Amino acid sequence: MTAMSPDALVLPLCMAVAAGLVGCFAVMRRMTLGADALSHVALPGIGLALVLGANPVLGGVTALVLGTLLVWALEHRTQVPTEAVIGVVFSAALAVGSMLTTGTELIEALFGARRLPGPWETGLGVAAAVLVVAFVLRARHRLVIALVSRDLARTAGVDVARLDLLYLLAFALTVALGLRYLGVLLMGSLIIIPASTARHVARSLNTMFAVAVGISVASTLLGTVGAPLLRVPAGPLIIAIAAGCFLMSLLWRRT
């Protein structure tokens, strides 16, 4: 991958900020494995878009939204845990997506493409990132109350079902931000790893936010800049740097 211009870093960095914030609540909601699986729901949408000659990112976004609505509906109608519902939807999505995409197309869908986003994609991506960040910051207290006790949240006037749906949609939108850059396989890792690291070292929610966003942004920036120098793909390098931060946090916590 060739060196990226400063303008080309705007969307990846916005993606990183959204991933750090959304990941904090994914970790606290114990969606660590489910969150990574949910990102794979985009795969059949990408495959179908490629078959129809449409934009693969739009196909992935559509699949993510539909998959999110399905997960939310099944969870609240059947009372099956979110992780179990996501696991079933993920398995089906992975099977269908693998049949629709092959070869280079499958590799790009899983690990991201080398092509840079166009102006319209960057603009929509930045707007989506701002929307996700605004939602998490505005709803953080309601999300925390719902984590502590759903009954307490209802008593406080929180519509828990609606809040769950909005959070899952924010999560899906965050995954969509990274479809072009990291792919469905690595984007879930960027959401989970920085937040897991922050949980080890943070003493408050605001500190957890700051640490998670800081690691996510730093990993994305270092991975993007370092990839051309090391002649490796940016996506795997970004996740490797984030994982290194997690391992260092474990050592720091022990000392």
Could you tell me what percent of the chain has a pLDDT over 90?
30
pLDDT over 90 (residue 197): yes
Q: What is the pLDDT of residue 45?
A: 79
Q: Is the pLDDT of residue 135 over 60?
A: yes
Sorted by where each begins, the domain ranges of the chain are 6-254
Question: To the nearest whole number, what is the mean pLDDT of the chain?
Answer: 82
Q: Judge: domain 6-254, CATH 1.10.3470.10.
A: yes
Give the CA radius of gyration of the chain: 18
Name the DSSP class of 136: H
Q: Residues of the chain with pLDDT > 70: what percent? A: 80
Q: Is the pLDDT of residue 100 over 60?
A: yes
- pLDDT, average across residues 148-163: 88
The answer to which of 58-62, 72-76, 146-150 has the lowest mean pLDDT is 72-76
Q: What span, in angstroms and rounded, lies between the C-alpha atoms of 15 and 5?
A: 17
Dihedral angle over CA of 35, 174, 13, 251, nearest 10: -20
Helix, strand and coil content of the chain, in percent to the nearest 5, comes to 85, 0, 15
Query: Within 13 Å and on the Cβ side, how many CA atoms surround 156?
Result: 14
What does the H/E/C string look like for 221-251?
A: HHHHHHHHHHCCCHHHHHHHHHHHHHHHHHH
Mind listing the pLDDT tens digit for each residue in 110-125?
Answer: 666 666 667 777 888 8
The model's pLDDT over 20-47, given as tens digits with 9 standing for 90+, comes to 999 999 888 877 666 666 777 777 777 7
Token digits for 242? 């984030």
Cα angle: 121, vertex 41, 56; to 5 degrees: 35
pLDDT tens digits along 179-193: 878 877 788 889 999
